[in-house]
Structure 1
């Protein structure tokens, strides 16, 4: 595959990051933020958005130093074959873990609201088949699919917006009721719900435009996601009071379910299948990133042969937890792992790159 065939436009880069960032976490985010920040939940999201933007700038600085290289080839260039391969294995494992965790969270959510009698392995297998079909394709194919999937945000936003007809603005006030410390704590929880932007480390060299134009596209995507999260959190915080939110783990779905559209008895039955397409995009992004890592690790030009292996791994990891406690443990492992791979390792890579006398790389 030639470099030209892999290139995606700036608009497609923008939409790719959006689809990778928005996942299942936003559906329960108002519940989590109510527990930590109450009415200041919207402020927590804004702080998380700014934190995410700082990490994006850090990652952009790394990519700018090595034009034409992606995360994996940068690691090989900086640390040599042995340590570089360890970094590749680590990031590949991280992408597999995140893909499995998102898939498991999506299945658990669908089983609670729609598919109570469906065996979990069946739902996981269906998600695996859908995501394998896409993850084995070229980046340009993924970008086109994500572009089409983006139009599904329109009915999702409209459904949530309808909840504003039941809004009570006084439920959000006072904004600083829980104090700045708890608002910052809520921002930490929100940041984990917004991961996905780190995939820029994989697709950055295969997108069109200058470094500044690429940074602008990714930053605008992060801004869109941040504002979308603020909108969702603020809507739920104004529809449900603080005491009600304590007993509603997925307030976004509960909000949609409670709406009366006259011709539709349960709007959540429409909402969840549409939302599932967004989750598919997020899972595919991580599986694609993991397959790319395996192809570079084994010195192959195509990632396609490694996509089935990635899906077997994500399916196995997602199938392993059999109890709610085990599911929660996997979620926590993914959360703490994300801290390391979102900020810790990129910072190490950037600091190490400062000692490199040569600032350019060859095309990947």
Structure 2
């Protein structure tokens, strides 16, 4: 239920984004902020947006390295994994958007493979009674769960920067991103449902990574350790997220092509330095919680306020009246 609520919130935000971007079809979020808030306030807000993208990319890197160290490569130093992930991300992020999008299309096929592997987890002992009665935890806990689900589904805010690059009919953009949101929400709901009917509530409290643990008990004649296979494939879509946040952070500062490349390199160094902090549970939870709160301001609050300002001040957007 928490994931479904998070998906509905994201769909509402996509409608807000679509209405805002239709009024500024040739501008990114950072351009819109300067037009509606003024140059000084707009630039200040853009620096906050930049900080959000850097911190989110760093958090994803930390979580990725932490899981790889615990589950797949326990003897490899964390800084080595961070360096490899960030170096490959920077290598793609300095490319133009067309090359990045082609790589993302290739990466989407691996996501399909992840879905296929997840379907194998259907077989085995399942207990529907583990989820009964539905909603027994109370509305407050369901909303808190939606907060965690929303954080794991971040990335849709990239639309605020990618919309001007869309070639062709931009009116169908909302339908396209809505289908993407439906797929992500459905996949997350399915995986969570599998974990809930496989493990008892007491077991879930003791398991660190329920999804990976779900595959450890699956063994086939020609395939073994599906958790390692799942994790190895999972690295690819996780890396695409880091690439995208490096791209968004660099674009949020503006500048030409040469300055963009330099900015990506600097941002990669910053993300790498942040990823070197100790990966203890306390620090990771604190950082994740801070990113969660900041995402409410940047992903939900800022676009909503800007959309309201377009009705209040009747500013003129580039290429189309507001």
TM-score, length-scaled by structure 1: 0.83
Q: CA deviation at 1:86?
A: 1.0
Which residue is equivalent to 1:29? none
Counterpart Cα distance in 2 of 1:191 and 1:358 = 32
Q: Does 1:68 align with 2:26?
A: yes
Which residue is equivalent to 1:33? none
Which one of 246, 258, 278 corresponds to residue 205 of structure 2?
246
Q: Which moved more, 1:171-180 or 1:115-124?
A: 171-180
Counterpart Cα distance in 2 of 1:277 and 1:78 = 38
Q: Deviations over 1:281-309 (max 9, x none)?
A: 11111100011122x1xx42452221101
Q: Which moved more, 1:170-179 or 1:145-154?
A: 170-179
Q: Is the 2:66–2:279 Cα contact (8 Å) retained in structure 1?
A: no
Which one of 94, 97, 122 corresponds to residue 164 of structure 1?
122
CA RMSD in angstroms comes to 1.7
Which one of 283, 300, 308 corresponds to residue 326 of structure 1?
283
Structure 2: runs of 5+ lacking an equivalent:
none
Q: Is the 2:25–2:163 Cα contact (8 Å) retained in structure 1?
A: no
- Give the secondary-structure state (helix, strand or coil) at the position aligned to 2:313: coil
Which one of 3, 10, 13 corresponds to residue 55 of structure 1?
13
Q: Does 1:292 align with 2:248?
A: no
Which residue is equivalent to 1:141? 99
Which residue is equivalent to 2:225? 266
Q: Which moved more, 1:255-264 or 1:175-184?
A: 175-184
Q: Does 1:315 align with 2:272?
A: yes
Q: Is the 2:131–2:196 Cα contact (8 Å) retained in structure 1?
A: yes
Counterpart Cα distance in 1 of 2:101 and 2:265 = 20
Counterpart Cα distance in 1 of 2:7 and 2:315 = 33
Q: Does 1:132 align with 2:93?
A: no
- Count of aligned pairs: 318
Q: Deviations over 1:176-201 (max 9, x none)?
A: 22233322222222112111101110
Q: CA deviation at 1:131?
A: 0.4
Q: Is the 2:92–2:100 Cα contact (8 Å) retained in structure 1?
A: yes
Q: Is the 1:164–1:239 Cα contact (8 Å) retained in structure 2?
A: no
Q: Which moved more, 1:69-78 or 1:122-131?
A: 69-78
Q: CA deviation at 1:328?
A: 2.2
Q: CA deviation at 1:111?
A: 0.5
Which residue is equivalent to 1:200? 159
Q: Is the 2:82–2:275 Cα contact (8 Å) retained in structure 1?
A: yes
Which residue is equivalent to 1:103? 61
Does the C-alpha gap of structure 1 residues 360 and 322 become closer, same or farther in structure 2, counting only changes over 3 Å? closer
- Give the secondary-structure state (helix, strand or coil) at the position aligned to 2:317: coil
Q: Is the 2:2–2:149 Cα contact (8 Å) retained in structure 1?
A: yes
Q: CA deviation at 1:211?
A: 4.2
Does the C-alpha gap of structure 1 residues 270 and 322 become closer, same or farther in structure 2, counting only changes over 3 Å? closer
Q: CA deviation at 1:262?
A: 2.5
Q: Which residues of 2 match residues 3-18 of structure 1 at below 5 A?
A: none
Which residue is equivalent to 2:180? 221
Structure 1: runs of 5+ lacking an equivalent:
1-42
Which residue is equivalent to 2:300? 343
Which residue is equivalent to 1:12? none
Counterpart Cα distance in 2 of 1:50 and 1:191 = 10
Q: Which moved more, 1:96-105 or 1:202-211?
A: 202-211
Which one of 136, 142, 149 corresponds to residue 190 of structure 1?
149
Counterpart Cα distance in 1 of 2:9 and 2:161 = 21
Q: Is the 2:55–2:291 Cα contact (8 Å) retained in structure 1?
A: yes
Which residue is equivalent to 1:112? 70
Q: CA deviation at 1:209?
A: 4.1
- Give the secondary-structure state (helix, strand or coil) at the position aligned to 2:206: coil
Q: Which moved more, 1:348-357 or 1:64-73?
A: 348-357
